Amino acid sequence: MSIVVTAATGHLGRLVIDELLMRVPADQVVAVARNADKAARIAAKGVDVRIADYGRPETLNSVFSAGDVVLLISGTEFGRRTAQHGNVIDAAKAAGVARLAYTSVLGGMLEGFKLAAEQHKPTEQAILGSGLTYTLLRNGWYTENYTGQIPVQLEHGVVGAAGEGRIGSATRADFSAAAAVVLTTEGHENKTYELSGDSAWTFAEYAAELSSQSGREVAYHDVPVDTLAAAFSSAGIPAEQAEAFAETDLGIKRGLLQGGSGELSRLIGRPTTPLAKTISAALKG
């Protein structure tokens, strides 16, 4: 039996691998990646790297084995995720894996916003319909989604369409620690976790914290959702994806990404990383 992590070279996958290696020997971990060169750092740690692609079912046939515990990390190809995830689910079922965990989104079965309803809900339904033992990790927003934009924010301010909606974000390190716990311990069979940071914040509060730490005045500009979508498009994001990302701010405005269950901090056994700490780290580079 192995612990298999798909999309292992991505931002989240790399951190999950590192968390697992603090808990189990390297020879119990399998990393699935599309590119061997990108996975070289992981292989150097003694982890078995297997090359496969969500979009090529034939490459998944030898990735899983009976009894494995698998983490399916959501793909990044907008509009193709459902089919790609279905390929992984089919391969896992055919191999007889013991359990399949999936990184979904907070409130993943809600119809509240397109990213959940069109990108994650179908995968959750496919997992439930597969008969596999599962764990659904409904991750809230990564704080790095915002702190990664700090250079632009310092220049132009924070732009959004969420009004005074609150975001219960946490860091990728927080979410990866939760995944590692779920993959290496018992008692998570057929459970769904709504995972969010301990404290939720508004865009105005984010802008105020960034102003305080940077010493520069950063304002929050609340704009119509169409304006936000156009801004994403002008930044090179494909139109359909830009519209879905912008529409997510309406979900934030309605409180769908506020979280507050406390399940993330309980799983990892510590408080989640505060917004101020993540901003500080990003400013230091």
DSSP track, 131-159: T--EEEEEE--BTHHHHTTHHHHHHH-EE
- CATH no. of 3-138+170-194+260-269: 3.40.50.720
| Residues with Cβ within 8 Å of residue 269, at least 6 apart in sequence | 181
Q: Output the CA angle 187-270-259, nearest 5 degrees.
A: 75
What dihedral angle (degrees, nearest 10) is formed by the CA atoms of 279, 280, 282, 285?
170
Closest CA to 130 of 95, 104, 164: 95
pLDDT in tens, the chain (285 residues): 899 999 999 999 999 999 999 999 999 999 999 999 999 999 999 999 999 999 999 999 999 999 999 999 998 887 788 999 999 999 999 999 999 999 999 976 665 677 787 778 899 999 999 999 999 999 999 999 999 999 999 999 999 999 999 999 999 999 999 999 999 999 999 999 999 999 999 999 999 999 999 999 999 999 999 999 998 898 888 888 888 888 889 989 999 999 999 999 999 999 999 999 999 999 998
Q: Enter the pTM of the model.
A: 0.95
The answer to whether residues 12 and 101 touch, using CB atoms and an 8 Å cutoff, is no
Return the residue matching tokens 């790297």: 49
Cβ–Cβ contacts within 10 Å for residue 193, how many? 22
